[in-house]
Amino acid sequence: MDEKQVIKQAQKNKRKAQTELYNRYKSVWFRICLRYNRDQNDAADVLQNALVKIFTKMSQFDVNKGSFQSWSSKIVVNENLMYLRKNKSQFVTDELNDEIQKIDDSETPFESLSRKELTKLISGLPEGSRLLSNFY
């Protein structure tokens, strides 16, 4: 069965078709989750949430207008971003505070700033900027 037929069957809640789509794309989706989450358990949790959305919103996908892989991957990316916003922002701030405390004042390029001042500046950054610092 070609992909369009499988998608149309999955849109009718046919479990066999949904399983076939899952088997075709599970590795692509999981790799996306691993890009956003270093922990495999977190990645698996996010993928599970994304799968629920993919299969409950199947009726919104038009097989004549685009690629199922692109459409479903966008849902996976959005689920990862929502997860990071909800669960990681506090972790990143705490992690940065711990790292700043480990740095000796003489080693930092911001010698004129105290640790408290630097922490306050970092905490004042937009959430996305604080999150990005976790990946570098």
Banded pLDDT at 27 (limits 50, 70, 90): very high
Q: Which residue has the higher pLDDT, 54 or 115?
A: 54
Q: What is the DSSP string of 65-96?
A: TS-HHHHHHHHHHHHHHHHHHHHTHHHHHHHH
Pick the CATH number of 3-86 from 3.40.50.300, 1.10.1740.10, 3.40.830.10, 3.30.830.10: 1.10.1740.10
Does 71 have pLDDT greater than 80?
yes
Does 68 have pLDDT greater than 80?
yes
Does 133 have pLDDT greater than 60?
no
Would you state the structure tokens that stand for residue 63, as one six-digit string? 């097989």
Banded pLDDT at 59 (limits 50, 70, 90): very high
Does 121 have pLDDT greater than 80?
no
The reported pTM is 0.65
Give residue limits of the domains in the chain.
3-86, 89-133
What is the pLDDT averaged over residues 18-34? 95
Shortest CA distance to 59 belongs to which of 14, 107, 8? Answer: 8
Mean pLDDT of the chain: 81
